[in-house]
A and B are shown apart, each in its own frame.
Chain A
Amino acid sequence: MSGPSTYNPKSGLEKWIDSRLPLPRLMHDTISTFPTPRNLNIWYTFGGILTFCLAVQIVTGIVLAMHYVASANLAFNSVEAIMRDVNYGWLIRYVHANGASMFFLAVYIHMFRGLYYGSYKAPRELIWIIGVLIYLLLMATAFFGYVLPWGQMSFWGATVITNMFSAVPVVGQAIATWLWGDFAVGDATLNRFFSLHYLLPFIIAGVVGLHIWALHVPGNNNPLGIDVKSPQDTVPFHPYYTVKDAFYLVCFVILFAGFVFFEPDFFGNPDNYQPANPLVTPPEIVPEWYLLPFYAMLRSIPDKLLGVIVMAGAIVTLVFIPWLDTSRVRSCRFRPLMKQFFWAFAVVCVILGYCGAQSVEATAFGVPLVWVARIATLYYFAYFWLIMPIIGLIETPKKLPPSIAQSVLGDSAVTSAE
Chain B
Amino acid sequence: MRLTKLSRNLAIALGLGLLASTAAMAAEGATARHHVKEVEFEFEGPFGTYDRGALQRGYQVYKEVCAACHSLSYIAFRNLADKGGPEFSEAQARALAAAVKVQAEPNDKGETTDDAGAPLTRPAVLADKLPSPFPNDNAARANNGGALPPDLSLIAKARMDGPHYVYSLLTGYDEKAPGSFHVPDGKYYNPYFEGWAIGMPKPLSNNGVTYSDGTKATIEQQAHDVVTFLSWTAEPKMEDRKRMGFGVLIFLLALAGILFAAYRRVWKDAH
Interface of A toward B, CB cutoff 8 Å:
38-39, 80, 83-84, 90-91, 94, 235, 239-240, 243-244, 246-247, 250-251, 253-254, 257-258, 260-262, 264-265, 270-271, 273-274, 283, 336-337, 340-341, 343-344, 347-348, 350-351, 354-355, 358-359, 361-365, 369, 372, 379, 391, 394, 408-409
Contacts and interface: CB of A to CB of B under 8 A. Distances in A.
Contacts of B252: 250, 253-254, 257
B139 interface: no
A146 to B, nearest CB: 16
6 contacts: A240-B267, A243-B267, A250-B259, A261-B246, A264-B241, A270-B160
B12 to A, nearest CB: 9
A379 B7 CA distance: 12
Given A262-B46, A262-B242, A372-B21, A337 B14 contact: no
A268 to B, nearest CB: 8
Top 10 closest A-B pairs, CB basis?
A261-B245, A364-B21, A273-B158, A362-B26, A247-B259, A340-B7, A364-B24, A344-B11, A273-B157, A90-B237
A336 B18 CA distance: 23
Contacts of B259: 243, 246-247, 250
Contact of B271 (A91, A337, A350, A408): A408
Contact of A363 (B24, B157, B237): B24
B158 A271 contact: yes
B266 A243 contact: yes
Contact of A351 (B21, B236, B240): B21
B261 to A, nearest CB: 9
B247 to A, nearest CB: 9
Given A262-B46, A344-B7, A362-B26, A250 B255 contact: yes
A337 B5 CA distance: 9
Contacts of A343: 11
A326 B64 CA distance: 73
B21 A235 contact: no
Contacts of A258: 249
Given A94-B241, A274-B158, A340-B8, 15 more contacts: A91-B244, A244-B267, A254-B249, A254-B256, A257-B249, A270-B157, A273-B158, A340-B11, A344-B7, A347-B14, A359-B26, A362-B26, A364-B20, A364-B23, A364-B24
Interface residues of B, number: 52
A243 B262 contact: yes
B39 interface: no
B21 A354 contact: yes
Nearest to A84: B236
Identify whether the interface residues of B are mostly helix, strand, loop, or mixed.
Answer: helix
Identify whether the interface residues of A are mostly helix, strand, loop, or mixed.
Answer: helix
Contacts of B17: 351, 364, 372
B27 interface: yes
Interface string B45-83: 010000000000000000000000000001000010000
Nearest to B150: A274
B11 A409 contact: no
Interface in B1-29: 3-4, 7-8, 10-11, 14-15, 17-18, 20-24, 26-27
B199 interface: no
B3 A337 contact: yes
Interface of B: 3-4, 7-8, 10-11, 14-15, 17-18, 20-24, 26-27, 46, 74, 79, 150, 153-154, 157-160, 162, 194, 234, 236-237, 240-242, 244-246, 248-249, 252-253, 255-256, 259-260, 262-263, 266-267, 270-271
Given A336-B4, A347-B14, A273 B154 contact: yes
Contacts of A261: 241-242, 244-246, 248-249
B24 A365 contact: yes
B253 A254 contact: yes
A270 B158 contact: yes
B46 A257 contact: no
A358 B26 contact: yes
A227 B191 CA distance: 65
Given A84-B74, A254-B249, A265 B157 contact: yes
Contacts of A94: 241
A354 to B, nearest CB: 6
A247 B267 CA distance: 13
B271 A80 contact: no
B48 to A, nearest CB: 10
A134 to B, nearest CB: 27
Contact of B241 (A91, A247, A350, A394): A91
B249 A38 contact: no
Nearest to B271: A408
A336 B261 CA distance: 36
B74 A347 contact: no
Contacts of B46: 262
A149 to B, nearest CB: 11
Contacts of A247: 256, 259-260, 262-263
Nearest to A364: B21
Nearest to A269: B160
A260 B8 contact: no
B270 A240 contact: yes
Nearest to B158: A273
Contacts of B244: 91, 261
Contacts of A348: 14
A82 B263 CA distance: 39
A366 B154 CA distance: 37
Given A261-B249, A265-B157, A354 B266 contact: no
A343 B244 CA distance: 39
A235 B269 CA distance: 11
A80 B154 CA distance: 9
A332 B242 CA distance: 43
Contacts of B150: 274
